[in-house]
Chains A and B, each alone.
Chain A
Amino acid sequence: GAVVSQHPSRVICKSGTSVKIECRSLDFQATTMFWYRQFPKKSLMLMATSNEGSKATYEQGVEKDKFLINHASLTLSTLTVTSAHPEDSSFYICSARRHGTGGTYGYTFGSGTRLTVV
């Protein structure tokens, strides 16, 4: 149980276009999902916290207009990178917190999306 599906796994897009990444909890409801960015050989940096039915909470320094987050249902959150630039190229990972649980078993990670902007 507790599977999070993240798609696409890899995407290449042209500079100036937008890319949408999906994060789905397959077998549980997730009121809260998290989006991380990971640079090569670096740690995961929290970008934003996505709450179902409300606006996302962005970490300091993350442009909310560039990284649009939508959490329209208890099983789906999307991250849209708008007007992508080469410096947005990175590995993006989502995680989902299981509804009704605390911080023990409640976090499951997607398999990540490698975004390359050319």
Chain B
Amino acid sequence: AQTVTQSQPEMSVQEAETVTLSCTYDTSENNYYLFWYKQPPSRQMILVIRQEAYKQQNATENRFSVNFQKAAKSFSLKISDSQLGDTAMYFCAFTPYNNNDMRFGAGTRLTVKP
């Protein structure tokens, strides 16, 4: 069974600064996908960034980047130049390559302070 662990229930950061959210996972699969989703107060799940396990290069999407350490089974999210609109719950998620379901971590509540 796959598990996803987010050890930071809450984080805060000053506007314009950088914050890193942690995520570790456990799997016996070799090929899989990892995701970070954002859930603002509207509760709509929004894909922030995704990483394919067979790619060594860390994914980047504008101010969002990941540090993917496959051997350590670690997948952290770095948010640069934090904005007030980044305030939300952030979920790390995992899905095996040939499987269907997506498993989520417990989430990290991020607050960006003005």
Contacts and interface: CB of A to CB of B under 8 A. Distances in A.
B33 interface: yes
Chain B interface size range: 20 to 34
B102 A95 contact: yes
B101 A44 contact: no
A107 B107 contact: no
A49 B43 contact: no
A43 B97 contact: no
Interface residues of A, number: 21
A95 B43 CA distance: 13
Given A102-B97, A107-B47, 8 more contacts: A32-B100, A38-B43, A41-B109, A43-B105, A44-B45, A49-B100, A93-B43, A103-B33
Interface of A: 32, 34, 38, 41-44, 46, 49, 91, 93, 95, 97, 102-105, 107, 109, 111-112
B97 A42 contact: no
A112 B43 CA distance: 7
A103 B95 contact: yes
B44 A103 contact: no
Nearest to A93: B45
12 contacts: A34-B102, A42-B107, A43-B91, A43-B104, A43-B105, A44-B45, A91-B43, A95-B45, A95-B102, A104-B50, A107-B102, A111-B42
For the complex of A and B, the 3 pairs showing the least CB-CB separation, nearest first, are A109-B45, A103-B33, A103-B95
